[in-house]
């Protein structure tokens, strides 16, 4: 394997590079002790529709958060609850169906995905973890994916080095390119629903790869020498 242990933040239908990190690790840990950060993959995913990029965002309840002196919310991600008073679930389903109903494998996998979305799970961390486990199972990723023990590991700490942990918590982010797909030589195109009109769009949500490539998705995630 390329990585001994990969450490990742929780993410909602995370991007392809997130699952590439998992697929090329002996073990994957999801951070459960961090503070929530807005505008990250923790509560959003990117898909591609007929008119271009779509951002699907999970609303969260902030009633339990306390504001610090700068006014920014500081609440552990593990304590965040999903806000079901907003119609996000219907909106996300409609967006997924509009984007992927004509893809080869949407109908094959949709019941597995919708079954979790429809469960009414309150915890953001639990919902994301359930979805991540299910998608890894559907793709055929055998890497164990576990929540860490809740003790936040500081970036750059000696613990990361001593445990041979590759830290992707900040590099896998909507506003920056981690370079991971290029590093693993996985930045290769696959068929997309709107590629004829828009060209290939890289590193979308893992759902884009799953619905378009189905059982072949694993070949776009594993570093070639480790297959």
| 102: pLDDT strictly greater than 90 | yes
Angle of the 88-100 helix axis to the 206-213 helix axis, nearest 10: 40
Alpha-carbon gap, residue 107 to 194, rounded angstroms: 18
Backbone phi, psi, residue 10, to 5°? -65, 150
How much is the pLDDT for 69? 40
How much is the pLDDT for 68? 41
In terms of Cβ atoms closer than 10 Å to its own Cβ (0-12, 13-18, 19+), residue 75 is middle
Mean pLDDT of the chain: 93
Give the pTM. Answer: 0.93
Beta strands 25-30; 52-57: pairing state: unpaired
Task: Please say whether the beta carbons of 31 and 169 come within 8 A.
Answer: yes
| 72: pLDDT strictly greater than 80 | no
**Tens of pLDDT along 135-189?**
999 999 999 999 998 788 889 999 899 999 999 999 999 999 899 999 999 999 9
| 80: pLDDT strictly greater than 90 | yes
Averaged pLDDT, 63-69: 50
How much is the pLDDT for 11? 98
How much is the pLDDT for 226? 53
Q: What is the number of other CB atoms lying within 10 angstroms of the CB of residue 156?
A: 9
Domain ranges (residues) in the chain: 3-226
Averaged pLDDT, 105-112: 98
How much is the pLDDT for 71? 35
List Cα–Cα distances, 191 to 104, 205, 208, in angstroms.
Answer: 10, 14, 10
Alpha-carbon gap, residue 127 to 140, rounded angstroms: 20
């Amino acid at each position: 394997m390329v990585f001994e242990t990969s450490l990742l933040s929780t993410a909602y239908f995370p991007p392809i590079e997130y699952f590439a990190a998992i697929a090329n690790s002996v073990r994957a840990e999801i951070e459960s002790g961090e503070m929530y950060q807005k505008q990250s993959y923790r509560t959003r995913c990117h898909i591609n529709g007929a008119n271009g990029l779509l951002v699907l965002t999970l609303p969260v309840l902030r009633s339990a958060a306390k504001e610090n002196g700068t006014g920014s919310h500081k609440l552990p991600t593990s304590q965040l609850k999903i806000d079901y008073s907003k119609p996000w679930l219907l909106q996300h389903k409609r967006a997924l169906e509009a984007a992927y109903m004509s893809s080869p494998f949407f109908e094959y996998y949709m019941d597995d995905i919708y079954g979790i979305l429809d469960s009414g799970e309150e915890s953001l961390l639990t919902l994301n973890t359930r979805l991540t486990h299910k998608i890894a199972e559907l793709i055929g990723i055998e890497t164990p994916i576990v929540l860490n023990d809740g003790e936040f590991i500081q970036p750059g700490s000696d613990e990361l080095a001593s445990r041979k942990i590759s830290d992707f918590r900040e590099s896998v982010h909507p506003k920056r390119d981690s370079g991971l797909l290029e590093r693993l030589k996985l930045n290769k195109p696959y068929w997309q629903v709107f590629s004829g009109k828009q060209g290939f769009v890289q590193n979308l949500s893992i759902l884009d790869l799953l619905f378009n490539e189905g059982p072949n998705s694993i070949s776009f995630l594993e570093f070639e020498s480790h297959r």
